[in-house]
Amino acid sequence: MGRAPSADEDLMRALFDEHARPLLGYVIRLTGDRQRAEDIVQETLLRAWRHPEALAGRPARPWLFTVARNLVRDGHRARLARPREIGDEALAVLPADDDLDRAVESWAVAEALADLRPEHREVLIETYYRGRSVKQAADVLGIPQGTVKSRTYYALRALRLALEERGLAP
């Protein structure tokens, strides 16, 4: 067996039954958007329920229409105060530097370099990371130029294998 409706529920039901349809039509004309209008009507009736003293001793419809009009104005002003919202489509056409991918790649390359034999790692660091020529690298490392060339060749092969194991090389 159900319970008897409270006075608040009776007030809301009466307000809805008597005023919701004309109020919705009015707000649709103001907004041009049925969904937004339904939300505003719901908010208007909720405010009437929260403040029944505002309706005491006066006709409800003018108060409800005024509240609804004010909600429409407030919503319009709020949208003007905020930057215009755009969809995700705009993000698809903007170039984006992805530093995170570059950082992860750098860590993986550093780990792969750490797995190389020390003499291979040294020669790659001198020639590729420090940008030294074969002669300069040979002078810094104190080894012949031919050794720098052959170590570079084998170091690059070993590095490629280490990167492939990590899924970073084709």
CB neighbours of residue 160 within 10 Å: 14
What is the rounded distance in angstroms from the CA atom of residue 144 to the CA atom of residue 47? 87
CATH code at position 104:
1.10.10.10
DSSP 23-68: HHHHHHHHHS-HHHHHHHHHHHHHHHHH-GGGTTTS-HHHHHHHHH
Residue 16 pLDDT grade (very low, low, confident, very high; cuts 50, 70, 90): confident
Burial grade of 137 (CB within 10 A; 0-12, 13-18, 19 or more): buried
Predicted TM-score (pTM) of the model is 0.46
End of a domain among 84, 119, 147? Answer: 84
24 occurs within a structural domain: yes
Asked if residue 137 belongs to a domain, the reply is yes
Q: CB–CB of 134/149 below 8 Å?
A: yes
Residue 103 and residue 71 share a domain: no
Supply the pLDDT for residue 107.
Answer: 85
Last residue of a domain, one of 51, 84, 117: 84
The pLDDT tens digits for 43-99 are 999 898 888 888 788 888 889 999 999 999 998 888 888 777 666 676 666 565 667
Residue 2 lies in a domain: no
Residues 91-141: tens digit of each pLDDT:
666 565 667 777 778 888 888 889 899 999 999 999 988 999 999 999 999
Residue 93 lies in a domain: no
Residues 135 and 109 in one domain: yes
Q: Is residue 55 part of a domain?
A: yes
CB 110 within 8 A of CB 157: no
The answer to whether residues 75 and 136 belong to one domain is no
By three-state DSSP, how is residue 167 classified? coil
Is 89 inside any structural domain?
no
Containing domain of residue 134, as a range?
99-165
CATH code of the domain in which 73 resides: 1.10.1740
pLDDT digits (tens, 9 = 90+) for 18-30: 889 999 999 999 9
The total of structural domains in the chain comes to 2
> Considering 84, 107, 137, which residue would you say is the last residue of a domain?
84
Residue 25 main-chain phi, psi, to 5 deg: -60, -40
List all residues 6 or more positions away from 8 whose beta carbon is below 8 Å from its beta carbon.
49, 52
